[in-house]
Amino acid sequence: MTLDLTTSAQDMTVSQSRFRNALLDPETPAPDGLVTPEGTHAEKRFGVYRNNVSHSLASALVDGFPVLTKLLGEAFFRQMALVYLRIHPPASQLIMHYGAAMPTFLVGFPGTVHLKYLPDVARLELALRRAYHAGDAEAIAPADLTQLDQATLMDTRLVLAPAVETLTSEFPALSIWEFNMQDGPTPTMQAETILISRRGYDPVAQRLPLGGAVFVNALKKGHAFGTALGLATSQVADFDLTATLSALIAGHGIIKIEKG
Amino acid sequence: MLDISPKDTLPKAGGVGYKPQHFNELMNAPGSVTWLEIHAENYMGAGGRPLAQLRHLAEKFPISVHGVGLSIGGETRLDPEHLSRLKTLIDWLNPAMFSEHLAWSTHDAQFLNDLLPLPYTNDTLTRVTAHINEVQDHLGRKMLLENPSSYLAFAQSTWSEPDFLRELARRTGCGLLLDVNNVFVSATNLHFDPRAYINAYPLDLVEEFHLAGHDEDTDELGRKLLIDSHGKPVDEPVWALFDHVIANGGARPALVEWDNDVPDFNVLEAETARAARHMQGVVA
Segments making up each domain of chain A, as ranges: 16-115, 135-258
Identify all chain B residues contacting A92, using CB atoms and an 8 Å cutoff: 111
pLDDT for B8 equals 78
Shortest distance, CA B276 to any CA of chain A (angstroms):
31
Q: How far apart are CA A12 and CA B136, in angstroms?
A: 32
> What SS3 state is found at A3?
coil
Q: How far apart are CA A122 and CA A101, in angstroms?
A: 9
- Say which of B48, B82, B221 has its CB closest to residue A134: B48
Shortest distance, CA B198 to any CA of chain A (angstroms):
19
Identify all chain B residues contacting A49, using CB atoms and an 8 Å cutoff: 114, 116-117, 151
Q: How far apart are CA A209 and CA A241, in angstroms?
A: 8
pLDDT for A63 equals 97
Domain ranges, ordered by start, for chain B = 5-279
Q: How far apart are CA B106 and CA B81, in angstroms?
A: 13
Contact present, B154 and B124 (Cβ < 8 Å): no
Give A122-136 pLDDT, tens digit per residue: 999 999 999 999 999
Q: How far apart are CA A81 and CA B238, in angstroms?
A: 35
Q: In what order do the strands lie in the sheet with A192-199?
A: A165-169, A192-199, A202-208
* H or E element in which residue B36 lies: strand B35-39
In the chain, the amino acid numbered A188 is: T
Q: Indicate yes or no: CB of A96 within 8 angstroms of CB of B191.
A: no
Give me the residues of chain A with pLDDT under 70, please. 1-11
pLDDT for A12 equals 84
pLDDT for B7 equals 52
Q: Indicate yes or no: CB of A48 within 8 angstroms of CB of B220.
A: no
Yes or no: domain B5-279 corresponds to CATH 3.20.20.150 = yes
Q: How far apart are CA A111 and CA A102, in angstroms?
A: 13
> What SS3 state is found at A226?
helix
Give me the residues of chain B with pLDDT under 70, please. 1-7, 281-284
- Say which of B51, B111, B117 has its CB closest to residue A92: B111
Q: How far apart are CA A255 and CA A36, in angstroms?
A: 60
Strand-pairing partners, residue B178, are B209
- Say which of A48, A90, A96 has its CB closest to residue B111: A90
> What SS3 state is found at A1?
coil
Give B254-263 pLDDT, tens digit per residue: 999 999 999 9
Strand-pairing partners, residue B111, are B106
Find, among A80, A93, A47, the residue nearest to B113 by Cα. Answer: A93
Q: Indicate yes or no: CB of A42 within 8 angstroms of CB of B74.
A: no
* H or E element in which residue B212 lies: strand B206-212
Across chain A, where does the E strand assignment appear? 34-35, 157-160, 165-169, 192-199, 202-208, 254-258
Pinpoint the alpha helices (H) of B115-179: 122-139, 161-172
Q: What is the DSSP letter of B215?
A: E
